Structure 1
Amino acid sequence: MNDREEFLNWVYTSLAQAERAMFDGDAGPRREIWSREEPVTVLGAWRTASNRQELVEVFDVLASSFSNCTAYALELISWDVRGDLAYTLGYERVTTTMDGRPREFSLRATQIYRRELDGWRVVHRHADATSTGP
């Protein structure tokens, strides 16, 4: 398996599972796939963070608002791997309960990844909610 195939496999398994867990109320898997090395940043649809401590707090607050995720799908528009850096750009489609109310939404999400000693890690996320999209 080459670098691109290995990365894409990680995205559709570990990353997708962590995101689904987040929308089901469990921030633990998402924290695990993020780098523990600075810099890490989130420019999120609902919250932002500019270091690891803030990132953990943001993930915990967000997870506490979600439960009962019945669907999560990642539709990649573009992605690439260059050495120890990679990126993805795409739509996340989610069906979950948010603050006690059933919700369906799409997020446009761009993420940057760094290959570290123990594998790929997310280092940046920029996401925004969209009512449009493909």
Structure 2
Amino acid sequence: MTDREDFLIWLQRDFVRAERAMFDGDAGPRRAIWAEDEPVTVLGAWRNVSNHAELVEAFDELSTSFSNCADYEFDLISFEVLGTMAYTVGYERIAASIDGEPRSFTLRATQVYRRGDDGWRVVHRHADRVG
């Protein structure tokens, strides 16, 4: 298996499962796929963070807004794996409740990943709403 194939398997299995859980109100799986060592950053559709402590707080706070994830799809536009680093660019199409109100929205998301002894971990995310 190539590094690209290995990364795609992780992305489609672990990353998608973690994001679906987040939009269902559970931040735990998303926190688990993020690197614990610095640097980690988020330039988000709702909040920006620049260290791991802020990341945990932001994910926990954000997850309380979401529930009833009816659909999550990651439309991968581009990706590359270069040694222990990777990136993805794509659209996240989400149907979930926000503060109890069913909503559908799309995020443009660019992410950077680092591979360590424990596998792939997200280290940077930039996302914004489309439209």
Q: Which residue of 2 aligns with 1:13?
A: 13
Cα deviations by residue, 1:10-68 (Å, 9 ceiling, x for unpaired): 00000000000000000000000000010000000001110000000000011000000
Using the alignment, how far apart are the partners of 1:68 and 1:2 within structure 2?
36
Tell me the number of residue pairs that the alignment of Structure 1 and Structure 2 aligns. Answer: 131
- In the TM superposition, structure 1's runs of 4+ consecutive aligned residues that sit over 4 Å from their partners are none
Q: Which residue of 1 aligns with 2:58?
A: 58
Q: Which residue of 2 aligns with 1:37?
A: 37
Question: Match of 1:5, as an amino acid?
Answer: E
TM-align CA RMSD: 0.4
Q: List runs of 5+ in structure 2 lacking aligned partners.
A: none
Using the alignment, how far apart are the partners of 2:78 and 2:38 within structure 1?
25
Q: Which residue of 1 aligns with 2:87?
A: 87
Offset, 1:100 = 1.2
Using the alignment, how far apart are the partners of 1:102 and 1:57 within structure 2?
24
TM-score (norm 2): 0.99
Q: Percent identity?
A: 64
TM-score (norm 1): 0.97
Using the alignment, how far apart are the partners of 1:18 and 1:48 within structure 2?
19
Using the alignment, how far apart are the partners of 2:100 and 2:48 within structure 1?
23
Q: Which residue of 2 aligns with 1:99?
A: 99
Q: List runs of 5+ in structure 1 lacking aligned partners.
A: none
Is residue 4 from structure 1 mapped to residue 4 from structure 2 by the alignment? yes
